[in-house]
Amino acid sequence: MPLKLIESTMINNVISPEYDEDGRVLRRVRSFVRRQGRLTSRQQQALDNMWPKMGLDYQPELSDMEAIFGREAPVVLEIGFGMGASLVTMASQNPEKNFFGIEVHVPGVGACLASAEEENLSNLRVMCHDAIEVLNNMIPNQSLDMVQLFFPDPWHKVRHNKRRIVQPEFAQLIRNKLKTGGAFHMATDWQPYAEHMLEVMSEAKGYSNLSENDDYVPRPDSRPVTKFEMRGQRLGHGVWDLIFERVE
């Protein structure tokens, strides 16, 4: 598929309209804002070269993870991978696992594919779409070994808190997609959001907090430290990791 057609299709398909019984478009509160941004030549080339190999188009039907990756292996899903630095690092360091990344911003998808091409990865697939719709319509129940949500938009203003992706309904959606014993790993550098995540997840049924103190866990080695995070550490910013395991 030509580059411009790939890019246009990705942008237009990020958000699927939802309709009521009378055919009117429904407005759903979303956790992200569409920011198209400009593609660099590196990102454009990666989309052109790698999308046919690693890119997945949104389809409102359940997917077969084994068929997508061409093998049976544990599946790690990352929601909102940004520019893909940590996702590519994890996929490179864990060739025995399959990694599936969802990101709504095309430049980030392009950057991720460029890095994946440089690392010659075969265990990574990416999608440019609303993660909620992907989870609801494409991911089979009990098919994921890990779900990762690193540094989502905290929506600082109180009137915007409803846009935070971590809500009770989202916690149960993730739980449905995890295998028993699978884990939901979150990280944020905004303490009020960390407290919000902890409250939501502590009240969610079917989870066990893997923290010894029922709060936060030390950053596991499995989550790479990004340049953004290192900059925050130099400025004295904290980072909070939470890991909850599906127990039933």
pLDDT at 30 (0 to 100) = 54
pLDDT class of 163 with cuts at 50, 70, 90: confident
Least confident range from 76-80, 92-96, 183-187, 231-235: namely 231-235
Residues 149, 185: Cα–Cα separation, whole Å? 6
| Whether pLDDT at 66 is above 80 | yes
184 known member of a binding site? no
38, 79 Cβ separation under 8 angstroms: no
Examine the pLDDT at 24 and tell me if it is beyond 60: no
Using an 8 Å Cβ cutoff, are 225 and 157 in contact? Answer: no
> Domain map of the chain by residue range?
41-246
* Residue 153 marked as a ligand binder: yes
**Residue 103 labeled ligand binder:** yes
Superfamily of domain 41-246: Vaccinia Virus protein VP39 (3.40.50.150)
Query: Binding residue per annotation — 162?
Result: no
Helix/strand/coil percent split, the chain, to 5: 40, 20, 40
pLDDT in tens, 185-199: 999 999 999 999 999
Tens of pLDDT, residue by residue over 228-240, are 788 777 877 899 9
Alpha-carbon separation of residue 53 from 109, 135, 181, 237 (angstroms):
13, 22, 31, 38
Mean per-residue pLDDT over the chain, rounded:
88
Q: Would you say 229 is a known binding-site residue?
A: yes
**22 catalytic per annotation:** no
What is residue 116's predicted lDDT score, i.e. its pLDDT?
A: 98
Residue 224 pLDDT > 60:
yes
Residue 105 pLDDT greater than 70, yes or no: yes
Please list, in sequence order, all residues whose beta carbon lies within 8 angstroms of the beta carbon of residue 217, skipping any fewer than 6 positions away. Answer: 210, 211, 241, 242, 243
Coil vs helix vs strand at 180: strand
Q: Among residues 20, 22, 57, 153, which one is catalytic?
A: 153
> For 123-162, what is each residue's pLDDT tens digit?
999 999 999 999 999 999 999 999 999 999 986 677 767 8
Q: What pTM value is reported for the model?
A: 0.85
